[in-house]
Structure 1
């Protein structure tokens, strides 16, 4: 399965071949029995937080549309920062995106550029490197699925500005590719870096919600904790190592699968 990778250079592109890698009596006695029955029933019922609850729809896409978009062979565009590039991996160019593309057998354009974000243009300081510009530059593509990842690099941007920029960026993706499913992934740094990205996470989540784009929230899901971060963090403690990226890819894969299988208007809280 072919995989197209930008290699961290805005506007650039190169092709490479990815190999598929795989992967629940008396009244007193009667009353006591009734109490026992109720207690037993309560034990059997899942906690509210573990059950799927009807909620207002927050996404413009049906489960069926998502299922089609994530199917093997789908055309996928992934836009992100150094996590999408794979910095911290054994070769610095093999991260969660490459793992997920290989697992899902997608025909993907992986557009990762270190240091960038919705607002942050990275070291080059070029406006062409922010997510909105990079999405606009790829208008000729016809993706079934668009994934926008990040961005912990927007830590110097105030929440109101970041939220508005996220909304504008994701809305552009929806207008540009009206038949594509658009999904965004928030900051996914290991601890202790994750603690500094909660404000970013809230702003990106709010921007995605305003557009009706599904938001994959690694912080709310507690994917990276004080217990597991030591095993998943790269030597710089800012990025992930190979095991961390593989773990992140698996988490994202599970979230996409849930979006594709849960009934419309129902959400697992």
Structure 2
């Protein structure tokens, strides 16, 4: 696939992910271009940003707005304060929440968002928790494409713990051949637009209603890029999608 700046450079020949991915994968697999039906069903799974915190009403959050931008349906599963290691305010950690998902749902796309909530949890067990959660999501919806949406900065400059989470998720996604979208690496939130996107007062550093609309538009545009990605074949040559 097209390797975005937030994904490590691929090897010349795609290879399988290492058996012990939790130990720190270095190999990457080129993901295939994103293919979605005309009116996709998208499960958006994440934390308070996915919940819609600080929007006038949660249903004005980015995950809900994404439905119209993709001309489809979004199923929103966001729990405030939740992370891969950290339990949330009104629900458990990611792994436990994935175990409780409706197995009858058949999403075309799963977006796993976040999370900055693991900043204080440290590195011990983090990659193992991520891999276990992702294994469970892939097993629950084996026909779905999974895209990982990394943490977005709630404050600037980006903290070291948030940057570490972003780097870990990027590397782990690359080892699986999954697309990874990094709002940090792509500068979605900058000093110039920070106060337009983030409600620093009543929203307690969550996106405002306008901020959620902006994030939905950025995410939809990023997904469109993944649809247009050329295919990388063994040996490093590329073929472009049919026009």
- TM-score, length-normalised on structure 2? 0.76
Task: Give the structure 2 partner of residue 133 of structure 1.
Answer: 96
Q: How much does 1:55 deviate? A: 4.6
CA contact under 8 A between 2:63 and 2:74: conserved in structure 1?
Answer: no
More deviation, 150-159/188-197: 188-197
Task: Give the structure 2 partner of residue 121 of structure 1.
Answer: 87
Report SS of the residue matched to 1:215. Answer: strand
Task: Describe how 1:66-215 pairs up with structure 2 within 5 A.
Answer: 66-68=34-36, 71-123=37-89, 129-138=92-101, 139-192=103-156, 194-196=158-160, 197-215=162-180
Is 1:258 the equivalent of 2:225?
A: yes
Q: How much does 1:114 deviate? A: 0.5
Task: Give the structure 1 partner of residue 17 of structure 2.
Answer: none
Q: More helix by proportion, 1 or 2?
A: 1
CA distance in 2, matches of 1:60, 1:67: 15
Cα distance change of structure 1 residues 149 and 93 upon mapping to structure 2, 3 Å threshold: same
CA distance in 2, matches of 1:92, 1:212: 32
CA distance in 1, matches of 2:230, 2:129: 30
Q: How much does 1:150 deviate? A: 0.4
Listed one character per residue, the Cα deviations across residues 139-168 of structure 1 (whole Å, up to 9, x for unaligned) are 222111111100000112223522221122
Higher relative CO (CA 8 A, sep ≥ 6), structure 1 or 2? 2
CA distance in 2, matches of 1:255, 1:239: 21
Task: Give the structure 2 partner of residue 34 of structure 1.
Answer: none
- TM-score, length-normalised on structure 1? 0.70
Gaps of 5+ in 2: 15-27, 233-237, 239-243
**Once superposed, what is the RMSD of the aligned Cα atoms?**
2.4
CA distance in 2, matches of 1:154, 1:88: 20
Q: How much does 1:101 deviate? A: 1.4
Task: Give the structure 2 partner of residue 40 of structure 1.
Answer: none
Listed one character per residue, the Cα deviations across residues 43-68 of structure 1 (whole Å, up to 9, x for unaligned) are xxxxxx99xxx9546557522xx222
